[in-house]
Structure 1
Amino acid sequence: MAIHAYTVSDFRENLKAITDDVFDYNETVIITRPKKRNVVMISEAEYNSWQETLHLLGTTANQEALTTSLKQLDHQNTHILTPEDWTNLKLQDDDTDE
């Protein structure tokens, strides 16, 4: 991932090309402003990815579940579910919620 810095003037002059590069090449752009009031630009897809990561790591329970899953994966202690298995598990969960 490339990071480029532009002044506000340069950014204004090259807005289309810069925003195309952010989207097309997943570049990060820093728009430098006086008094270190800089702004960072990323693509919407990158922003959404960061938000999802923040959500997944947002609670201790989620962090522990992800850590456990990664350990299982590392030790190949996994079980692959078919779509039918997944549906049956979901139905069982729905029955216990009532």
Structure 2
Amino acid sequence: MLAVNYTNLRDNMKTYMDKVTDDYETIIVTRKDNKNVVMLSEESYNNLMENIRVMGNKANYDWLMESKSQLENGNLSLHGLDEADADE
């Protein structure tokens, strides 16, 4: 995570945007009166929102935690994938 003041960000906008999108960097833009802003890529934002949606539903959360526990305890099975016919 990087912190940069507004003036520096404005003067080097492309460089910082490239860091955010190419290097998955999160940037805190510092401003007066501690009214800071966080800049992150659209991909990171969408991922964050999806995680909030999935983890915010208790049934989904419980199912994921149970699956995680089963995997960590070696309680799993492998299955082959069937190929679908072209007309399906």
Q: TM tier, shorter chain?
A: 0.7 to 0.9
| Candidates 2, 18, 23, aligned match of 1:4 | 2
| CA–CA distance in structure 2, aligned partners of residues 81 and 64 of structure 1 | 24
RMSD value over aligned CA atoms?
Answer: 1.5
Which residue is 2:51 aligned to? 53
Q: Structure 2 unaligned runs (5+)?
A: none
Q: Deviations over 1:34-55 (max 9, x none)?
A: 1111100011111111111111
| Candidates 46, 54, 75, aligned match of 2:73 | 75
Structure-1-length-normalised TM-score: 0.76
Q: Sequence identity of aligned pairs in percent?
A: 35
Q: Structure 1 unaligned runs (5+)?
A: 88-98
Which structure 2 residues correspond to residues 12-91 of structure 1 after superposition, within 5 A? 12-84=10-82
Structure-2-length-normalised TM-score: 0.84
Aligned-residue offset at 1:69: 0.1
| CA–CA distance in structure 2, aligned partners of residues 39 and 63 of structure 1 | 30
Structure 1 runs of 4+ aligned residues shifted over 6 Å read none
| CA–CA distance in structure 1, aligned partners of residues 39 and 81 of structure 2 | 39
Aligned-residue offset at 1:22: 0.9
| CA–CA distance in structure 2, aligned partners of residues 83 and 35 of structure 1 | 57
| CA–CA distance in structure 2, aligned partners of residues 64 and 36 of structure 1 | 38
> Residue type matched to 1:50 in 2?
L
